[in-house]
Every structure is written in C-alpha cells, then in structure tokens.
Structure 1
C-alpha cells in the first residue's frame, strides 16, 4: 500500500514524533509498503528516505511558541498533496487542524488518526488539576471531546499508543479506538550495558556511597515533565533513605530546574546524552527510572529504561503508569511530590538489588518497534481490504 502520513509535528529538529516517524519510514519497505510523510516546511521539497519512503515538505509558517516547528497554513494545501499522492491509506498524526483536513478530504482512501498527543493531559489537566477534578475539567472542555467524537465518526481507526489513553478516549465516547503500544528499537538498550563502576561514580558525584539508591530522570526540561516536583520528592525521600538523583536533559525550563535544585549535593544535572551507546550504559547503570509526567501517550524513555533492566517510579496516569506497573515498580498520585516520595521509599524498602535483578530478567520482553509496526500495518491492510470489498 501507499500510506501517506500527514504529520503536523514532524520537523528537522523535532523530538519524539520525529524519531518515531523516521523509524516508520524505514520499517515500511520491510512490510512491503510505500511510506510518504507530508510535513510543513520552509518550501516545497521532496526528501528521499530510501526504498519506497520519502518526505513531501509543503510551505508552512513557523509556530509562534516554538520556532523549531511549522504548521500547515490551510486545509487546501493538505488536500492538494493528497490529491497528487493518491494514497491507499491516510494517517493523521495530531488531533488538530491536520486531522480536520484529512477528515474532510474528498478522496476515497480509508484513514486513521494516530494519537501522538494528549492535549487534555498535557495542558488542561495540568493547569486546572490543582483546583478541579478531571470530571469537572472534562465538562469544561466538552468542546474538545465533541471535536474528538466528530473526528472519530469520520475516521476508520483512532490509534492509541497506551491502554490508559485508549480507556479515556473510549470513556469520552470514541468508538473507533484501538490500542497499539509503541516500542523501542532492537539492539540498543539491554541490562548487559550495566556498569557498576559508572554507578558508583554517579553516586560519588551525588555525594553518596554505593549503598545509596541511584535514580535516573531523563527528558526535556519542560513544564509538563514536572522535574521540580521530582527533585522535591527525592529530597523528601532522602531524609529517610540515601537517594541520589541524576537528571539528564535540557530545554526551555533548564534555568528553572537549575534554580530549583540549588545547592543540593545529592542531585546531579547532566546535559542531554545524544550518543546512544553512552545513554544505554547510563540507563542500565541506575537502580530505577523516576518520571514526573502524567501526560505521556506511551513514554519511550520508560520503555528504554525497562529494556535496560530498571524498575520505574511514575505517576499513576498516562503511558508511563502502564509501564511502571508492568516493570514491577511503583506508581504515585500524579503531580503530588509527597506521594512520589513515598513511592521512592517503598521501592527502596522492597530491595533495590532484588527489584533490579527481577527487572533485568524481564527486560528482554520489552515491546519492540518491529511488533508495533507489524500490528499497525496489518490493521491498516485489514481496513483497506474491507474498503475495497465494500467498493
């Protein structure tokens, strides 16, 4: 099949969506499909990506709040690209304007909405959660749920990358939802990369001995990641148990995170690690991954940590929660530093060495991207086949 992905959040300097789409471009040929990504760029341009894969850039203005990204200027641009490309199947990768444009396109190809983003969790629940329940927030944002239900009625599939998001979408009245968790690339992360010498060195830099628990936090310094809350939780847990925290990342909130850490000797801030083997070694050398964001649709970092043999400490909502439970780790009440501190203490008291050994034994079962793409393409083929029979 020719599968066209209308991807509003694909950019040369993008983050998780770019990583995922790049891997999908490579995976398509292995499954006998031609993958074409339509993305907003500086001008009209075709970028070849190997056998049967390419990116069709179309002009789009820059996002005012993040100049690394652009957006589709109008629906007509998307419709013209789809008319020209004549896809067998169309995918929209965000629930906003691009999804509306794909839904309103007059072509006959079946289409899927892939929920790479969870706007309510990333924004509304985070902003208003301290003063209102999720039920009240959902009522206040019923316009967004009506929007999603309208899209659901016009799409053949709504793909959710986590069970927790799929459950919320179904509770919100969507009927076409299927769950297809993402996965990690094969061969990068494994317990074999564990380095006890590196672990001891990181704890030394946290002003702690090897008997302490070494927690790793990995991700962008952005408000939804809640790193100041994670720091507070580890500081509180550290009053009862020796805990070192290594935070790896950077971003627009870096200065805020640095100020929040202050002079705490048990928190080590590291720049983003772009060397994948070095990152695999760092992750495998920790005792647990701690995560603060309850708005993850899948949480690739959590999957990479699980494949490295780490149990997880994560909020009880979002994609990270699914993975923490599956890892044998701990969950805590989202956005609650005291609850997170208790989760850290619980995990330590269960035995870091024992939990680590169990997590390393399970690491090989971490879901791989190969399985995700096989399931995704099989689902698209089934929908396209039914459409052909109906026609």
Structure 2
C-alpha cells in the first residue's frame, strides 16, 4: 500500500500528534508499505524518516509550534507519489489543503481527529467564535472519506457538530518499555531517592506545561502530608505554574523521552492527570502500562481509559472539596499502598493487548475500507 501522511506536527516538535505519526510510519516501514510525509517546516526537521521522504512546507510559529501553511507543493507531491490513501493527522490548514488535493486527484482520505475544539473555545471564552470553529472542523472532516476519533467524548462532539462518516481508533502503548519491572532499575531507584528522600508517595505528571493541561489543579493538593510532586515536561506555562506551586514539594524533571521517560514512570507511585481537554490521553495508557493507578478528570478521553474505582479514580473537575474532588481521591491512594498496587495491576492488565502493532493493523483496515469504497462498481450487462 502507498500511503501519503500529512501532519500538522512533526519532529523535532514532540507531542501526541508527532508521536502517533511516528508510530504509524514505523509500522508502515516494518510492514513493507511505501509512504511519504508532508509536514510543517521547522528548524532541524528531518528530510527523511525510516526511509520515507519528508516534504517540509512553509510554516509560521504559533505558541512554540510551527503551523503549516497551504502551498502548491502539496498537490504536486501527492500527484507525483500517487498514493492509494491519504492519512491526515489532526488536520488544520495544511491538512485541509491536502484532503482537498487528494479529492481532486481521486485519492481517498482518512482524517484523524485529535483537537478538543469545544474545550479550547470554553477555556478561551470564545463565545460565538466557537460555532465558527466547529463549522471549520465540519468543513475539513466532511471532505474526508472517513474521520477516526479517539474517544467517546470526541465522537459525541463531532456528531453534534454535524460530522458524519466516523469510526473509533485509539492509540497503542509500548508495554515493554513502560513496565513495572523498571522499578528496580538502578536509574529508577536513584531517581526515586531524589524525588522521595524520606519515603514520600510520589505523584507524577507527564505532558506539556500549557494552559490546556490545567496544572494549576495541583495546588489543590497543598498541605497533604507525605507527598512529593514530580512534573515531566515543559511549555509556555512553566513559569506561571512554578509560581503558583511555590512552597509545595515539587521536582521539575523537564522534557523526557525514551528510556528516561520510562524510568520516570517507574519512579512514581500515582499518576495524576489534570486537564479536561484531552481527546484521548496517551500518558494515561503509559502510566497504566507502568503499573500505576491514575487519577484523572471525568471529562474527555480519560473517561474511556480509567475504570473508576478499578484502575484509578475519575474526579469531578468542578469539585474543590468532597468525596469526588481530586484532593480526596489522591488522599485515598496516598494512605493505602495496597490500593495503589491493586489498581496499578488492574491498569497494567487493561492495556496489555493495546499494542501499536494491533492498533496500526486496525488502521490498515480503515485504509482498505475507504479505498474499496472509492472503487467503481462493476456493471454487469444483462445477457
């Protein structure tokens, strides 16, 4: 199969879109398929990935991210490559142009929805502009042959916006890299000694430090005895969140990846996710794979990933006190090591079969579906 992948984010930018695109390209390379990638240009953008050509198009910077702009190069590249299918990762301006170009040359397209438009609009008080944003989303995704959504909340949002031709597609997790056995790795033991010198319960977070991640919620944990916060990631809110959490036992670990990130998970006791705008929640799956209980808001992607009371807790994002608040549920886990271990094991079991290989094999099925749907129906003449 020949697959053209167009993405709104790629290396060296690291985020959920980039990570999933890399996993898809890895799978295509390992499975013997052919592919190209079209991505926004940034400093140090690679010219190839896993043997696939990377075509960088002009971009402008927005909030530390390059945003790809429509460019005549897109249709030329697609026409020259002659793909069987177009994969549009979190399509915006660049993805919208690529889907339109694919339609002009008769190539079916699969769009991957990964942006919580409703949450962004609410947080930024966009009001009537939110309706315009959803119209733009509907225009982009209705042009695609199929839109893949990562969660039930995303599906509801898109159905309400009038988007049709939807299917669910989650994300895989590397259950070998993220594994409870790493807790005894010397690097994890050393890091834990640094994070919890007096035997504190380590509450970990992994992700961007940005407004939509709502790390300000960690202030609700102020005053809980015997805890240590470990925050992995960086971003535009680092300074403001640091000021808010001043006086709390916080260790900033910065951006991590690969083995270092796996070691960080292994040094945690509990994983705490704070944002309500996640369309999926890949770090939750990584935490489960590492054998950690998860505390996350009852909103967005986490609702599908956390079995409340089984492998973690879902808190009411509007509750500051009471049994459903983030603070109360974290306290339950802080005081009970047995509960942490039991929930962590349940989480590990829940994701054990959710490999990238199985998820990407499912993706090939979606590709095959839209390709077949575009094939002309043979006309059988009556004898």
Q: What TM-score do you get using the length of structure 2 for normalisation?
A: 0.85
Superposed counterparts of 1:337-376, under 5 Å: 337-338=320-321, 339-348=325-334, 351-360=336-345, 362-366=347-351, 367-376=354-363
Mapped partners of 1:197, 1:46: distance in 2: 35
User: Is this contact kept in 1: 2:48–2:54, CA < 8 A?
Assistant: yes
2:276 maps to: 294
Gaps of 5+ in 2: 379-383
User: Is this contact kept in 2: 1:294–1:334, CA < 8 A?
Assistant: yes
User: Is this contact kept in 1: 2:11–2:46, CA < 8 A?
Assistant: no
Q: 1:157 to 1:285 in 2, by over 3 A?
A: same
1:172 maps to: 161
Say which is worse superposed, 30-39 or 366-375, in terms of deviation: 30-39
Superposed counterparts of 1:328-339, under 5 Å: 328-334=311-317, 337-338=320-321, 339=325
**What SS does the aligned partner of 1:166 have?**
helix
**What SS does the aligned partner of 1:221 have?**
coil
- 1:6 deviation in Å? 1.5
Mapped partners of 2:76, 2:372: distance in 1: 25
Q: 1:263 to 1:148 in 2, by over 3 A?
A: closer
User: Is this contact kept in 2: 1:62–1:70, CA < 8 A?
Assistant: yes
- 1:70 deviation in Å? 4.2
Mapped partners of 2:318, 2:37: distance in 1: 36
Q: Deviations over 1:89-111 (max 9, x none)?
A: 01222342223313422111111
User: Is this contact kept in 2: 1:10–1:69, CA < 8 A?
Assistant: no
What do you get for the CA RMSD once the two structures are aligned? 2.8
Mapped partners of 1:311, 1:213: distance in 2: 12
- 1:178 deviation in Å? 0.9
Say which is worse superposed, 16-25 or 195-204, in terms of deviation: 195-204
User: Is this contact kept in 2: 1:291–1:313, CA < 8 A?
Assistant: yes
- The count of residues paired between Structure 1 and Structure 2 equals 366
Mapped partners of 2:142, 2:252: distance in 1: 46
Mapped partners of 2:98, 2:286: distance in 1: 33
1:36 aligns with 2:24: no
1:133 maps to: none
Q: 1:181 to 1:91 in 2, by over 3 A?
A: same
Mapped partners of 1:12, 1:281: distance in 2: 22
User: Is this contact kept in 1: 2:196–2:202, CA < 8 A?
Assistant: no
2:123 maps to: 126
User: Is this contact kept in 2: 1:8–1:93, CA < 8 A?
Assistant: yes
**What SS does the aligned partner of 2:60 have?**
coil
Gaps of 5+ in 1: 130-136
Match among 305, 308, 327 for residue 287 of structure 2: 305
Q: Deviations over 1:5-60 (max 9, x none)?
A: 111222423333222222221110333421211112269x9833335x331223x0
User: Is this contact kept in 1: 2:183–2:189, CA < 8 A?
Assistant: no
Match among 259, 273, 290 for residue 256 of structure 2: 273
Mapped partners of 2:180, 2:376: distance in 1: 48
**What SS does the aligned partner of 1:263 have?**
coil
2:110 maps to: 112
1:215 aligns with 2:203: yes
Q: 1:119 to 1:361 in 2, by over 3 A?
A: closer
Superposed counterparts of 1:32-181, under 5 Å: 32-41=32-41, 47-50=47-50, 53-58=52-57, 60-66=58-64, 68-72=65-69, 74-105=70-101, 106-121=104-119, 123-128=120-125, 141-181=130-170
User: Is this contact kept in 2: 1:199–1:214, CA < 8 A?
Assistant: no
